[in-house]
Amino acid sequence: MRKATARQDLVYSKPTMCLHCHLIVEMTHEREADPVKGAWTCPRCSHLYPFLHWKIRKQTQTKKAPIAA
């Protein structure tokens, strides 16, 4: 039996659905990828997702006004 090992030169994402092949996979990119020109790659269909298209939002908690009774 052969065990699958993570390659040291690749960075793996959290399990994410590929919008091209509709499978949940761990996407990868090169460890030294350019933040502007780099992209995540789907290991199943090789579809590229440029870093610039991925929107990262900070999770902020909004204060809710108390409801007047």
pLDDT along the chain (69 residues), means of 10: 66 92 93 89 93 58 57
Kindly state whether residue 47 falls inside one of the protein's structural domains: yes
Kindly state whether residue 31 falls inside one of the protein's structural domains: yes
Domain residues for 20?
Answer: 10-53
* Total structural domains within the chain: 1
Q: pLDDT at position 59, please?
A: 41
Kindly state whether residue 67 falls inside one of the protein's structural domains: no
Distance separating alpha carbons of residues 20 and 42, to the nearest angstrom: 9
How do the residues of the chain divide into helix, strand and coil, expressed in percent and rounded to 5?
5, 30, 65
Kindly state whether residue 5 falls inside one of the protein's structural domains: no
Kindly state whether residue 58 falls inside one of the protein's structural domains: no
Q: Which tokens hold the place of 11? A: 């960075």
Q: pLDDT at position 54, please?
A: 61
Kindly state whether residue 4 falls inside one of the protein's structural domains: no
Q: pLDDT at position 55, please?
A: 55
